[in-house]
Amino acid sequence: MRRIFIIFLLVILIFSLFIYGIFKGGSAKSITIQDVKNFLFYGSTGDKFKDILIWEVRIPPLVTAVIVGMVLSVSGLKLQTLFRNLLASPYTTGISSGAILGVAITIFLGFSFSNFLNIPDHVIGGWIGASLALIVLLFLASRIRDVSGVLVCTILFTYFYYGVESYLITFADNIEIQEFWMYLQGNFTGVRWENLKLILTCSIIFLIISYLLSKHLNALLFGENYAKSFGLNIKKVRLLILFLSSFIVGTIIPFVGLIPFIGIASPYIARIIMKTSDHRWTIPASMLVGMFISLLCYLISIKLFAPKVIPVKSILDLFGGLLVVYLIYKSEKHLKIDL
């Protein structure tokens, strides 16, 4: 009963932030709470300009924040269970670094995909980079028996990707460097409805399969030998978890840039508030916590120094690291987590 109440409370908080984002999520002062009510319940405020402002400008980044927080937190939870490491995150696999490298190559070398499916060139480049990094990851996971060895290798490949990016930056123009730097800061405002359809479809597939893996993940909590004794095919489960996490990170990162710490902090908080490591509870709790953190950071980024917008990554860099350190300290002191 207590866990259901916590989930219900998180839903209320997320809904409240979402409504606040529609009402106050921008520099325009013309939107009233009555406009928000009319739009949500009747589909229109009665003013065409306000309808466009709400539907095309304010809602897409809010939906993006919800989706990003949701999938990164679940991805982080699965990877922490797989690697038995509470600092594992969606960026541990090297897929995000591969996606960023693909974006860097597209920007600095001027590759063009002729507006394939009306998707920006840097997004296509990010997908290609993420796909190549995924191939490397799955090859390593299929050949290396120890999951910790896979983690070490992916971190080393991440440094390799960073090295290539540094080489490209050295010979790039200032305009290209600025464009790449702005991309790295993380931004939800550049995502539109046509992009969200793809992101949402991939996210739904990811979340459904992730929840279906709950029993397998619970078995992994007790170690691979224990899971094997119950007939679990460790190699296949490992590959599936890595593929799913890489698939969703490779889909999202090219659109929004780097969004750190959510994948680490959300599973931590979920385990603490739910007082369990059972994935049947921690998956939905991580989703909701991730959505809340992502929405909150987005709203802070657009309201703190309005009308100037601070990159979401800047907010997470300022507070996310301190939050993770605090959670590690608290969990070591007061909470035993079966990882």
Two tokens, residue 324: 């993770």
Q: Is residue 297 classed as helix, strand or coil in its secondary structure?
A: helix
Residue 235 phi, psi (nearest 5): -65, -45
- What pLDDT, on a 0 to 100 scale, did the predictor assign at position 331? 62
Task: Count the neighbouring beta carbons within 10 Å of the beta carbon of residue 100.
Answer: 27
CA gap 57, 74 in Å, rounded? 27
| Cα angle, residue 86 at apex, residues 83 and 92 outer, rounded to 5° | 60
Distance CA(99)–CA(101), nearest Å, equals: 5
Please give the CATH topology (third level) of the domain spanning 2-334.
ABC transporter involved in vitamin B12 uptake, BtuC (1.10.3470)
Angle at 269 between CA 265 and CA 270, to 5 degrees: 115
pLDDT reported for residue 115: 62
- Alpha carbons within 13 angstroms on the beta-carbon side of residue 264 total 22
Tokens 């400008």 belong to which residue?
57
What's the CA dihedral at 192, 193, 196, 198 to 10 degrees? -110
DSSP alpha helices (H): ranges in 53-120? 59-83, 95-109
14's CB contacts (< 8 A; 6+ apart) are 66, 288, 291, 292, 295
Q: Distance between CA atoms of 147 and 110, rounded to whole angstroms?
A: 38
Nearest to 70 by CA among 242, 221, 295: 295
DSSP annotation string for 11-42: HHHHHHHHHHHHHHSSS-----HHHHHHHHHH
Do 165 and 183 meet the contact criterion of CB atoms below 8 Å apart? no
Number of Cβ atoms within 10 Å of the Cβ of 213: 19
C-alpha 128/C-alpha 130 separation (Å) is 5
From residue 150, alpha-carbon distances to 49, 62, 93, 311, 316 in Å are 53, 35, 9, 32, 27
- Hey, what are 211's tokens? 């929840």
Q: Which residue is it, tokens 């699965």?
A: 78
**pLDDT block averages, 10 residues each, the chain of length 339:** 90 94 73 84 83 88 94 92 82 84 86 66 82 84 78 85 88 84 83 88 92 87 73 82 86 87 89 88 94 93 80 83 73 51
d(CA 264, CA 285): 14
DSSP 179-203: HHHHHHT--STT--HHHHHHHHHHH
What's the pLDDT score for residue 200? 92
Nearest alpha-carbon partner for 191 in 112, 253, 117, 130: 253
**Stated pTM of the model:** 0.87
